[in-house]
Amino acid sequence: MSLLDEVLDLFGWAPPPRAQPKSSPAPKPPSAAPVPPAPRPAPAPAAASGRPSAAPAPSVEPKPKPRQKREPARKPEPRITPGAAAVPQGRSVAETLAVVARVAPQFASLVFTRNRRVMASVADRGRALRLNVAFSAAPDDVLVAVGRLFTARDTRTRNRARDAVRRFIAAIPGEGAPARTRTRSVAPADAAHIARLQAEFDRVNDAYFGGELPRVPLYLSGQMRRRNGHFSSSPLEIVISRRLCTHAAPAESEATMRHEMIHLWQHAQGGKPDHGGEFRAWARKLDVHPRATRPVKWLKGGE
């Protein structure tokens, strides 16, 4: 031990140990080489008998299934609406007019129409006949009844002809079912007024229109304040103010009925109801005010 070591040992200090050099790791042994797979044995040669070796069976692909043909969707059959059946072909205009002329030679012309509300009417001051096209297939007796309906002077003959024509119209497919209907309730107190107006309708129809105007429903209305009456073509009806029947002077409601009958005649002729020259001519015949509004004679307290 040297003197320096003794001095250091005296003070209790020891030198740190010296670091040992690191040894290098041992080399890894080389890995073994992979062993290749053993080769497949070659096919044996053909036998000496001379038979060829069997060839491998060819692979058969599955055939695709044939597609099933879809049947085309059937179109729905068209519905047949009642009354939409075509009218069978009948006589021509000349042939139909010739049958009517047996009892009504004054008709110089005939027009077939599609109007299903007014099936038969006259025009041109009684010289032209207007019939629905369904009458082209009508029997002779029905066409004769049409002629008598517009020309007979006695009421009995005219009523019989009207009944025959109505029976034929009722048998036409689709008739009797109007396109639009309205249900009105008739108050018991209105029955007497409606009967009086119906009597006026029948009287004027026979005296001035030859009975050609169709009978339409008559009603009274309590909601009319500015009008005395109203004619409607759809639904076909005539409405009279109830106040005119109960609070006006006698014959005021009958005058309004005649006014609306002129509009009904205009509709029956295929025209539009108005207050033109044709209306004013009829108004003079029927003693009716020629305008839409007219002064009314009210009873005391009726206004």
Which of 112-116, 141-145, 191-195, 203-207 is predicted least confidently?
A: 112-116
Q: Is 27 a residue whose pLDDT tops 60?
A: no
pLDDT band at 141 (very low <50, low <70, confident <90, very high): very high
More confident residue, 88 or 161: 161
- The CA–CA distances, whole Å, from 58 to 54, 55, 61, 64, 109 equal 12, 9, 10, 18, 94
Residue with the larger pLDDT of the pair 6 and 187: 187
Top mean pLDDT of 51-65, 168-182, 264-278 is at: 264-278
Sheet holding 128-132, edge to edge: 109-113, 128-132, 120-123
Residue 110: per-residue pLDDT: 93
pLDDT at residue number 194: 94
How confident is the model at residue 37, as a pLDDT?
61
What does the pLDDT average to over 44-64? Answer: 56
Which pLDDT band holds residue 168 (cuts at 50, 70, 90)?
A: very high
- What pLDDT shows up at residue 84? 34
0.75 exceeded by pTM: no
Decide: 247 and 228 in contact? Cβ < 8 Å: no
Whether pLDDT at 119 is above 70: yes
Phi/psi for 37 (5° steps) reads -65, 150
Stretch 55-80: mean pLDDT, rounded? 58
The predicted structure's pLDDT at residue 250: 84
Backbone angles phi, psi at 299, to 5 degrees: -75, 170
- Which residue type does 182 have? R
Q: Which residue has the higher pLDDT, 22 or 298?
A: 298
pLDDT class for 26, splitting at 50, 70, 90? low
Average pLDDT value for residue range 242-264: 93
User: What pLDDT is attached to residue 53?
Assistant: 55
- The rounded distance, in Å, linking the Cα atoms of 99 and 79 is 37
Per-residue confidence at 82, pLDDT binned at 50, 70, 90?
Answer: very low
Write out the two tokens for 252: 């005021």
Give the mean pLDDT of 251-261.
Answer: 94
Give me the helices (H) in 73-218, please: 93-100, 140-151, 155-170, 191-208
> What is the model's pLDDT at position 38?
60
Here the tokens at position 107 are 């008709």
Stated length of the chain = 303
Whether 112 and 93 have beta carbons less than 8 Å apart is answered as yes
pLDDT at 106: 93
Are the C-beta atoms of 97 and 107 separated by less than 8 Å? yes
Q: Average of pLDDT values for 277-286? A: 92
Confidence band, pLDDT 50/70/90 cuts, at residue 55: low
Mean pLDDT for the chain overall: 78
Q: What angle do CA 191, 192, 197 make, to 5 degrees?
A: 95
At residue 79, the pLDDT reads: 41
AA identity, residue 152: A
